Structure 1
């Protein structure tokens, strides 16, 4: 009787020991899966720099995730757009962005969303001295005037696209860095997409 009662216990103990061994061995094996390919991929221009935000987005609809980078305040080159060639390389295509962007300090974020419903991922940059909205036209980005409410920097730290009124157009919620009474005029804002390229 004693042997019959202890058999399930032995099986349970053996199962627990096996699971424990598998868990302990897991992290060791996982360490070999990562290799630094920064230079190989074509991102060596950003080595030694302070990136504030990195976004993966298929901006040209070729099925491969591209990379968009914003740098810190002190960097001379503050934006970088890299096209995924599909063969393990990233090709610098920052030329697709406007060269005359008046960005005094690096962007705290980069928010992609198709605000005009043309199928392309457009880009909102919360920056100073004013926020920037870039319309994506088949992979070429153009700065657009979407209204003073959107352009006002508000000391913006980040934002998010959402269709809060369910009218089929992406609206924008903009988050301010400050929340006290001193900066009440720069509080968070919800901007409605009017459907004509402007926000209020």
Structure 2
């Protein structure tokens, strides 16, 4: 006859053994599920992660090639020169003979904007001015042309007389009154014209530091609902070449020293933060976008990473381009 204590002990061992086997099976199943989940998660990550591109690597939707062969059946775009018919042929950008000075060699800009709020875009043409040795009052003036709505334009006669060695321009309503204002850049020129219900007048609220200013772009980088202004600096130009007169090399070609942007140190860029009261504060260095090593020609505001803040792309001449991501309190050069 078996001992009750021994029988009870054996029964407990049997139950414990079955329980351990069940626990091992459950643990094995959980491990398999975890491994499978991790594998699926990794596959999803691999399928959805953004591709990392290295400098110089080709991109499927961006090319550096300036010409490509089109399919034979592709429609050929046709452009017709309507400058004269539109009433724009009389604009003169430069007066005098060009010499070996960089500001005389650079192209001037243009900007579309509906300055009179009639629903169609008008055209501002920046004049390159003229030979730097000529008196400024002999330079060609920049001009504004009103769009008449019938494919023709008319020169705006009460536009302020601006005789500058111009480079760029951009329309933007900086004071929020519903009328497009105009920022203009050039060699030793940085101007702001305020739009008073269709009449543009000089505005003195924007500081006008000396420098060689090129591209310009409006954008609300600090999300305070008013437009701020980014100004590209080109080079620290000196008409005497800094005392240098020798021939220099640019892309393997001999050019005069004063025509080669590499002969001069880069000019810093400017960021004017709109204070919302009609004044601006220059904050480029504070926000990390002065781009001191770049000889900048143009800039573009765009939210590249979809975080709700405007980022900044800067195109430089004979210097690396720059992309600055807006981190909220500063910009990161990536």
User: TM-score category by the smaller chain?
Assistant: 0.7 to 0.9
Q: CA deviation at 1:73?
A: 3.5
- The match for 2:112 among 36, 50, 56 is 56
Q: CA deviation at 1:136?
A: 0.7
Q: Which residue of 2 aligns with 1:198?
A: 279
- Superposed CA offset, 1:170-196 (max 9, x none): 11112111389x868x51121111112
1:38 and 2:83 are equivalent in the alignment: yes
TM-score, normalised to structure 2, is 0.45
Q: CA deviation at 1:35?
A: 2.1
Q: CA deviation at 1:47?
A: 6.7
Q: Which residue of 1 aligns with 2:160?
A: 98
Alpha-carbon distance in 1 for matches of 2:92, 2:130: 14
Which protein has the larger Cα radius of gyration, Structure 1 or Structure 2? 2
Structure 1: segments with no counterpart, 5+ residues: 1-21
- The match for 1:187 among 268, 286, 291 is 268
TM-score, normalised to structure 1, is 0.73
Q: Which residue of 1 aligns with 2:321?
A: none
User: What is the alpha-carbon root mean square deviation over aligned residues?
Assistant: 2.7
- The match for 1:89 among 145, 149, 152 is 152
Q: How does 1:1-200 map to 2 (within 5 A)?
A: 23-28=71-76, 30-31=77-78, 34-46=79-91, 52-74=108-130, 76-93=139-156, 95-99=157-161, 101=162, 103-105=163-165, 107-147=166-206, 150-178=207-235, 186-200=267-281
Alpha-carbon distance in 1 for matches of 2:167, 2:150: 30
Q: CA deviation at 1:142?
A: 0.6
Aligned length: 168
Question: Taking CA–CA contacts closer than 8 Å with sequence separation of 6 or more, which of the two structures ends up with the larger relative contact order?
Answer: 1
Identify which range, 170-179 or 117-126, moves more after superposition: 170-179
Q: Which residue of 1 aligns with 2:243?
A: none
Alpha-carbon distance in 1 for matches of 2:107, 2:145: 14
* 8 Å CA contact 2:86, 2:152 repeated in 1: yes
Q: CA deviation at 1:114?
A: 0.5
